A and B are shown apart, each in its own frame.
Chain A
């Protein structure tokens, strides 16, 4: 089955050809084939996206191409770069390929750079090794490279160490390092996943530009369908070690032929799915997927037939695509139902239209400053203005999304509301009780009404406790159960409520997947019957299909119990899907607030506009992305006047003089920007 996809630029031979690539690791007496017979073809100047959820084998495929595998791994198949088989090369020759003909950039720029070497030194290593450049020539070349990847003031940056650079800068340095060897193929493994949206937009644009200028092929590994839609020429979707669908971008976005792909798209939270449960993929990727005789997706598939469990489907060509599914095979297609339309629309998010009732939580003038102390006497020498004047209100049964990029203070707001960090100034009124002045026992008792769900489901549970104890933590602390029996009953009930079997209560956290852990954390919060839950990026660490499960659960709980949520996130699609109101934060202050639909459809503050436009989306159609230059400033020394002014395309002189006042825009919306004053 070597029928490659017909394409306009078909005439030339492909740059990279991967045939039957199989990577296996020893596991439990046998082998686990994490990559199982992958075929790919990349042409020069093409962007090829490899998409999939965690554990599907997409990164392993990249590492296998570069032969950067841990000891014990077995590699089979064929990887040809311009005709030469890379898997047959001796290691020494392979080292001349890595960094020279194929370069790679990684997800985590913090750990991919050596912290004790200057930026220049690290790039020079590549120049020395592959091009034999040294001394002045090398330095000039490094300066050129740094300028090319858009690093301001390269002459100064070249002698700096990685910790002196922001995350976006580090990723640019990584890209400069990858470009230093003038590679024909650049492999980018989730290059923007660790970055903020506006920084992601910068880096994606940079990659696009560099690729066009250099005619480089780009193998982009990502889980983000929005990034695929924006960047890719062709796409392959991986599931359980295999490619299940391959197509040109346009076909991929329009047809979504494989049931898995279809489900992935349906699981995306988007504003237009408001009020409907998201489609989810039941279950999880089977652990020994390479032993399944039939289709690996069959047990989670909504259209699976008996045939799918007996025989493994091949990758079949269908109208310019390739799809691994019997449903597209003309011989078997008749046995399958036509793909069900997403019919799950039930009831709307409760009260999405109704006017907010009396607020349950009212925050005004909230400030959290962290003193910076130095010296023997610990004198205060400065302050981090983490939160610098935030007002908000949430009514029972409603969701307020707090949006902003990392470091803007949104997490601190959440903790300050819960009095886990004591505010420096301002008031937090919950159900007519002022929380900031509550102390000791009174505060402890109040705590049951406000709860917290975290981003990282791994660190949010004590690894030495069993699920029963974890969930019962609040029951014990608030003395809500009398004895062990009652406690177990209540925990069982809570676990059922979040969609887990009660039997899991005797297990330890490490035995669960990320999504299951997040459910346990939600059960722990629910145990004390709270009225408000602060959800701090509860789905950012999860895959799309699992994220959909958790979002559905949260929506369902809100409907049943009338919970109020403060939903802290950087993901605007999630906001559009589930929030009633949204507050946008920039450097310690809310710059715009209002009903979520209105704000996202018609953002007014220049920062909100940039944020909304920078989100990569799957819908087609040209959209002007407002590019923000530079990084957010430090909260230790916020710029005078409007904090956003230094990055704002519309900044005027007065923006630098005073912070803009609140301008009401009607319908509960307001913005802090001089553009709308007077």
Chain B
């Protein structure tokens, strides 16, 4: 029972990774089954064009998984490097980065992403780009704060005194020590990105038809919510389950990695 968040995530990853090789036809139209509810043949029923909802859900998982993975990875790497360097180098560079972070944080992230996706045009790559541009800020701020508290520690000063260069100090003495909080932050980030991607797709800025994503499935389904609630419920519950699982896992990870939590708990 304790491991169900992990099971859900594994299932999500499995759906995403092996989906294309399963005998599924997310784009196959069954005109005689339009808006049909769950049945033994298609256990999540059919959508407004007569496509099987289960098949589309599996392919939608692939979209949300890949977007989440890419966005978090890109934001994490870019944000950490900028934040850590900013704190370590200091001076005008740090001032600039801090102001930039402040500006990004002042604008609501999802609005900025919508604007960006709108400018770049719809498409999954552009969703990744738009969400990463918004996403790196959080990691940069966290990495900067962590490095600020670490950079005057004696082992860093010792490495400087021995003549070690900035790349070595950042990569060997700072990054390994700030990894734990960043990993926790990244876990929570996954949940945020899943929702953001769904929102963008819901607004029609994400994947393009006929490709499936959980967000676009909900958008298509809202029109038939009263006659065929399964169109909204299936992707909606999928998103809820994944986000909940990721958050629970993140909490658990934080408790395990964060010494401060351990002391109080």
A residues near B (Cβ < 8 Å) are 378, 415, 418, 420, 444-445, 447-448, 450-452, 454, 456, 459-465, 469-470, 473-474, 476-478, 521, 524-525, 527-528
Contacts and interface: CB of A to CB of B under 8 A. Distances in A.
A478 B163 contact: yes
B25 interface: no
Contacts of A476: 164, 168
A477 B163 contact: yes
A473 B158 CA distance: 9
20 contacts: A420-B160, A420-B161, A447-B161, A450-B161, A452-B158, A456-B154, A459-B153, A462-B155, A462-B172, A462-B173, A462-B176, A464-B177, A465-B172, A470-B155, A473-B158, A477-B162, A477-B163, A525-B158, A527-B162, A528-B162
Given A447-B162, A469-B172, A528-B162, 5 more contacts: A420-B160, A444-B165, A445-B163, A450-B161, A478-B163
Contacts of B165: 444, 477
B157 interface: yes
A418 B176 CA distance: 26
Contacts of A524: 158, 162
A521 B162 CA distance: 12
A460 B158 contact: yes
Contacts of A447: 161-163
Contacts of B176: 462, 464
B161 A451 contact: yes
Interface in B205-237: none
A448 B163 contact: yes
A371 to B, nearest CB: 13
Contacts of B172: 462, 465, 469
A612 B155 CA distance: 33
Nearest to A418: B161
Nearest to B160: A420
A447 to B, nearest CB: 4
Given A462-B172, A462-B173, A477-B165, A454 B160 contact: no
Nearest to A474: B162
Given A462-B172, A463-B177, A464-B176, A478 B162 contact: yes
4 closest A-B pairs (Cβ-Cβ)? A460-B154, A474-B162, A447-B163, A477-B164
Nearest to B164: A477
A460 B157 CA distance: 8
B161 A452 contact: yes
B159 interface: yes
Nearest to B156: A462
Contacts of B177: 462-464
Contacts of A477: 159, 162-165, 168
B contact patch SS: helix
Given A462-B177, A464-B176, A474 B154 contact: no
Nearest to B154: A460
Contacts of B159: 473, 477
Contacts of B158: 452, 454, 460, 473, 521, 524-525
A465 B173 CA distance: 9
Contacts of B153: 459-460
Contacts of B155: 459-462, 470
A544 B194 CA distance: 59
A454 B162 contact: no
B177 to A, nearest CB: 6
Contact of A420 (B95, B157, B164, B168): B157
Interface string B143-184: 000000000011101111111110010001100110000000
A363 B165 CA distance: 26
Interface residues of B, number: 18
A474 B163 contact: yes
Contacts of B157: 415, 420, 452, 454
A528 B160 CA distance: 13
B99 to A, nearest CB: 10
Contacts of B168: 476-477
Nearest to A457: B154
A462 B162 CA distance: 14
Contact of A451 (B95, B154, B162, B173): B162
B212 to A, nearest CB: 43
Contact of B162 (A448, A459, A460): A448
Contacts of A469: 172
B169 to A, nearest CB: 9
Contacts of A456: 154
A415 B155 CA distance: 14
B161 A444 contact: no
Contacts of A464: 176-177
Nearest to A536: B154
Nearest to A469: B172
B13 to A, nearest CB: 29
Nearest to B173: A462
Nearest to B153: A459
A436 to B, nearest CB: 16
Contacts of A448: 162-163
Nearest to A458: B154
Interface in B88-103: 95
Contacts of A450: 161
Nearest to A421: B157
Interface centre among A445, A474, A527 (most CB of B within 10 A): A474
B154 A454 contact: yes
B159 to A, nearest CB: 6
Interface in B113-157: 153-155, 157
A158 to B, nearest CB: 32
Contacts of A473: 158-159, 162, 164
Nearest to A443: B163
Interface in B38-85: none
A519 to B, nearest CB: 14
Contacts of A460: 153-155, 158
Contact of A444 (B95, B154, B163, B173): B163
Contacts of B154: 454, 456, 459-460
B157 to A, nearest CB: 6
A454 B176 CA distance: 22
Nearest to A454: B154
Interface string B192-213: 0000000000000000000000
A418 B158 CA distance: 11
A472 B109 CA distance: 45
Contacts of B162: 447-448, 451, 473-474, 477-478, 524, 527-528
A256 B162 CA distance: 45
Nearest to B176: A464
B139 to A, nearest CB: 20
A332 B162 CA distance: 56
Contacts of A420: 157, 160-161
Contacts of A521: 158
Nearest to A470: B155
A415 B165 CA distance: 18
A464 B177 CA distance: 7
Nearest to B168: A477
Give the residue among A445, A451, A473, A524 with the most B Cβ atoms within 10 A. Answer: A473
A524 B164 CA distance: 13
Contacts of B161: 418, 420, 447, 450-452
Nearest to B174: A462
A74 to B, nearest CB: 24
A610 B164 CA distance: 42
